[in-house]
Amino acid sequence: MSKTQPRVSHDRVKYMWANNLHPLREYSKVYKPLQERLDALQNLKKTLQKYESQILEALQKDLHKHPSESFLTELLQVYEELEFMIKHLPKLMRPQKVKTPLTHFGSRSAIYPQSYGLVLIISPWNYPINLSLIPIIGAIAGGNCVLLKPSEYSTHTSALLVRLISESMPPNLAQVVLGDSKVGESLLREKFDLIFFTGSVPVGKIVMQKAAAHLTPVVLELGGKNPCIITKSADIMSAAKKVVWGKFLNAGQTCIAPDYLLVQECVLEEFIQALKKWIREFFGEDPQQSENFGRIISARHFARIESLMHQSLEYIDSHYDSMRADCLDMSDSKSALQSCINLSNAQSLYVPPTIFSLPRDVEHPLMREEIFAPILPIVSFSEISECLAFSAQLPKPLASYIFTRDSGERAFFLQNFSFGNGCVNDCVVQVANPHLPFGGIGSSGMGSYHGVQSFRTFTHQKSVLENHFEIPLRYPPFRDKLFGVDFKKMCKFFASF
């Protein structure tokens, strides 16, 4: 019985969506002309405008997001991406002429953007509109058919995505399938032409493993331990304001949020006080009562965060003497963590914004994985080279940030730190520029999208050479000399142009 259970489970789950997959698969083989793609994108824009208030309401129910925050971080970026793609798609779809070497005299060369076919997009719960629709925009612009699997945790927004897609696009072009991880596992058994996944590193590994069975190309948008460096030359108040905004946006559930701070020792206390000031300014004395502060998405994720905090307390107790030698106020760090645990509310899924000092130890519980919560540890340093040595012990992050007014520190950061995307003197906002490709490096992801890069990601660049002239020299029988000239030297001569 146990041997057949997975197969039966797969069959039952597959029944929920298999009939809908056939029209998508068949139409994915058909070329979509420019106007059809533009019509789909323009219809999506109109449908978004129609359901704008319902979208903001759904995000508030799922994540306790303020409508203004939801508009800025979700809808506005989608609107910008739509405008960009609608404007530039005619040019992007044209074949790109490239040079042809003299050895191919009489030929013309060009690159034709070709759709992959049927694309599976698996989106997360933390920015459910943004991270579902922006990939869809790129996929449709590239001439593909799309099956979207949104997260089961953002229930209200996922249900609304079904309505948005069904009203804006025909069912043979794009569809949404709802369900839990069993549905996701069932989908990954199927053959797609491209899989686009946004989520955690562990699940990303599973997606890649399943895709390998069909040799399906994958784009993985994951996360990581994003460092944020504050040097003594930085504008402390401005840096603290931007860090508090970027870190505690969406209750810390942002893949490109600063995951930990590296603050120069001589400005450490000043910066901590500035952080506390801006937390009060943004969320009041009691953030739980603030409409501007979000909530953890589910009880499961809340339990993970609570476990991390308890592990951190145990770490402090077991390493107290050695950490005192590092001149860190562990008693204050312990009280900050304990206060966070005491103020957290499992029923309302509330975790308060919390900052505290951390030893320079990559084995600390909060350094072993992406925190993905409104908890911000701070590590002190004396020289910026120490930041590089510390962060290099961790996997390459999705994002990195530095706040400095020193050109040498800026150059050191940009030349030596390896990361997917980032900012100098700001954080998070790089994701909102459609002219910048967005993606990770190493374990923080592979592939990128947004703007032009979205079109390139969702199309294969098909190389074509068109010949109108015959060169007899390539045919046998071969001769060492032609017209008295060495054959090899002649070929090398033409190849040099």
pLDDT in tens, 478-488: 766 666 677 67
The C-alpha atoms of residue 45 and residue 59 are separated, in whole angstroms, by: 18
Section 456-481 average pLDDT? 83
The C-alpha atoms of residue 122 and residue 359 are separated, in whole angstroms, by: 37
Which residues contact residue 172 at a Cβ distance below 8 angstroms, ignoring those fewer than 6 apart?
23, 24, 26, 27, 145
Section 406-419 average pLDDT? 97
Indicate the average pLDDT of the chain: 91
Tokens of 149: 């699997």
Asked if pLDDT for residue 5 goes beyond 70, the answer is no
pLDDT in tens, 118-129: 999 999 999 999
pLDDT of residue 241: 98
pLDDT of residue 383: 96
The C-alpha atoms of residue 340 and residue 288 are separated, in whole angstroms, by: 12
Q: How far is CA 202 from CA 79, 184, 205, 303, 307, in A?
A: 31, 14, 5, 18, 18
The C-alpha atoms of residue 185 and residue 206 are separated, in whole angstroms, by: 9
Please return the burial class of 408, using the count of CB atoms within 10 Å of its CB with bins 0-12, 13-18 and 19+.
Answer: exposed
pLDDT of residue 88: 98
Q: Which of 192, 208, 154 is nearest to 445 (CA)?
A: 208
pLDDT in tens, 252-307: 999 999 999 999 999 999 999 999 999 999 999 999 999 999 999 999 999 999 99
pLDDT of residue 247: 98
Which single residue is written with the structure tokens 């060009």?
Answer: 110
Per the CB < 8 A criterion, the answer to whether 367 and 390 are in contact is no
pLDDT of residue 320: 65
pLDDT band at residue 493 using 50, 70 and 90 as cut-offs: confident
Domains of the chain: 5-222+448-460 (3.40.605.10), 227-439 (3.40.309.10)
pTM, entire model: 0.92
The C-alpha atoms of residue 449 and residue 458 are separated, in whole angstroms, by: 9
Section 3-13 average pLDDT? 43
pLDDT in tens, 310-323: 999 998 888 765 55
pLDDT band at residue 8 using 50, 70 and 90 as cut-offs: very low
The C-alpha atoms of residue 357 and residue 380 are separated, in whole angstroms, by: 8
Section 20-47 average pLDDT? 95
pLDDT in tens, 204-231: 999 999 999 999 999 999 998 999 999 9
- For the chain, the residue count is 497
Section 161-190 average pLDDT? 94
Asked if pLDDT for residue 41 goes beyond 80, the answer is yes
Asked if pLDDT for residue 10 goes beyond 60, the answer is no
Asked if pLDDT for residue 153 goes beyond 70, the answer is yes
Percent of all residues in the chain with a pLDDT value above 70, rounded to a whole number: 91
Asked if pLDDT for residue 135 goes beyond 50, the answer is yes
Asked if pLDDT for residue 237 goes beyond 70, the answer is yes
pLDDT of residue 334: 86
pLDDT in tens, 72-113: 999 999 999 999 999 999 999 999 999 988 777 788 999 999
pLDDT of residue 492: 76
Which residues contact residue 180 at a Cβ distance below 8 angstroms, ignoring those fewer than 6 apart?
152
Buried b (16+ CB within 10 A) or exposed e, 383-402: ebeebbebbeebbbbbbbbb
pLDDT in tens, 43-83: 999 999 999 999 999 999 999 999 999 999 999 999 999 99
Which residues contact residue 340 at a Cβ distance below 8 angstroms, ignoring those fewer than 6 apart?
309, 351, 352, 354, 375
Q: Which residues have a catalytic role annotated?
A: 221, 255
CA 353, 358, 360, 366 torsion-angle sign = negative
